[in-house]
Amino acid sequence: MTVRTSSKTVTFGNPFSLAGVDRVLPAGKYEVVTDEELIEGPSFPVYRRVATMMTVPTPSLSVELFSVDPFDLVAACRRDATITEAGAARAKVP
């Protein structure tokens, strides 16, 4: 089985929450790591996502790795963008 791993940084401008994480997380940058495995058989490479994890800093200056649902993560990013846009719109009102 061939597994490939990719990572990206997600930035939240506001505190947020995710299913599976027992606390509200502060605004900031978070690394998201995705593992995918190669599906054998097709004549071209096809990968299936098998895990999505996010690093979360702890109060003791260490880091926890949480398994997250990628759809929950996308929804949290959208909520954050909506909150940020609403705040910017309010700031422009004289």
The answer on pLDDT for 10 being more than 60 is yes
How far apart (Å, rounded) are the C-alpha atoms in residues 20 and 61?
Answer: 21
| Contact between 68 and 20 (Cβ < 8 Å) | yes
The model carries a pTM of: 0.81
Phi, psi (rounded to 5 degrees) for 12: -110, 130
Domain ranges of the chain: 3-92
pLDDT at residue 88 greater than cutoff 80: no
Tens of pLDDT along 28-62?
999 999 999 999 887 888 899 999 999 988 888 88
Judge whether residue 92 has pLDDT over 80.
Answer: no
Q: Contact, 48 vs 36, CB < 8 A?
A: yes
Q: CB–CB of 56/25 below 8 Å?
A: yes
pLDDT value of residue 87: 64
